[in-house]
Amino acid sequence: MENKIKALIFDLDGVIVDTTQFHFTSWVVLAKELGFDIPMSLDEDLKGLGRIESLQKVLKHRAIDTPEAEWPKLAERKNDIYLSNISHLSVGDTLPGVIDFLADASSQGILLAIGSGSKNARPILEKLGITDMFNAICDGTDTTRSKPDPEVFDCACRELGVSPDEAIVFEDAISGIDAALSCGTLVVGIGDPDVLNKADMVLSSLENIKVGEIIHELMEFA
């Protein structure tokens, strides 16, 4: 039963690398430049959403309507702010436990993929020096529909040649958990169990946990 799992698919922001805070602070700066504030509570709602989908949520807090024709320019501005905020990223900046966890999975012949809505995923993986650890990468440049649509996880399963029920997704966002469940994978939440309560199991991080322990626990309840 346990060797039914052939692949692990990882969200990038907030699972592999701590970039979530930089996405949010970049939206805060953009809003400030436009003369309004966004509430801190928006952070959780924006996690996992694509760039334009996030912009639309941010602009709901603006007193005046923003014509759709201006959206691409504003999304590009947010991305410029974001890129300058993450310019320091380099090898070793993965979240605690990530490298050991990926190596543990690979050593058992388990396939690894990235399933991220970010158009910056590939350059970030390059900066972190971990591109080659993955057998497939699906990101915001390969997809047109933002999480919670399952497109990015469908893409990862297809690229790896596995069916969704042979894969486990690791996600820190509610939208990502919904996407994984729609795709038909098992899903491990990384973060607060009260927030990520739809996941099949929730961990605070990938530190000090073995791949086998997760598969064993998930299969026990499957």
Q: Which residues bind Mg ion (CB under 5 A)?
A: 11, 13-14, 172-173
**Of the listed pieces 64-72, 117-125, 162-170, 207-215, which binds ligand G6P according to CB under 6 A?**
117-125
Beta strands (DSSP E) in 53-199 are 111-115, 136-138, 167-171, 186-190
User: In angstroms, what is the minimal distance from the CB of 88 to ligand G6P?
Assistant: 16
The rounded distance, in Å, linking the Cα atoms of 161 and 87 is 34
Establish if 79 lies at the interface with ligand G6P (CB under 6 A).
yes
Q: Are 133 and 102 in contact, with CB atoms under 8 Å apart? A: yes
Q: Is 65 exposed, middle or buried (0-12, 13-18, 19+ CB in 10 A)?
A: exposed
Establish if 48 lies at the interface with ligand G6P (CB under 6 A).
yes
Give me 220's structure tokens. 């026990």
For tokens 């399952």, the residue is 150
| Side-chain half-sphere exposure of 30, counting CA atoms within 13 A | 27
Greatest pairwise CA separation for the chain in angstroms = 56
Task: Name which of 118 and 160 has its Cβ closer to Mg ion.
Answer: 118
Establish if 6 lies at the interface with ligand G6P (CB under 6 A).
no
The rounded distance, in Å, linking the Cα atoms of 46 and 3 is 35
Task: Name which of 166 and 170 has its Cβ closer to ligand G6P.
Answer: 170
Establish if 191 lies at the interface with ligand G6P (CB under 6 A).
no
- Contact track, ligand G6P, 128-167, x by CB under 6 A: ------------x---------------------------
Tell me whether residue 100 is one of the annotated catalytic residues: no
Establish if 50 lies at the interface with ligand G6P (CB under 6 A).
yes
Mind telling me the catalytic residues?
A: 11, 13
List of residues contacting ligand G6P (CB under 6 A): 13, 23, 46-51, 54, 79, 116-120, 140, 173
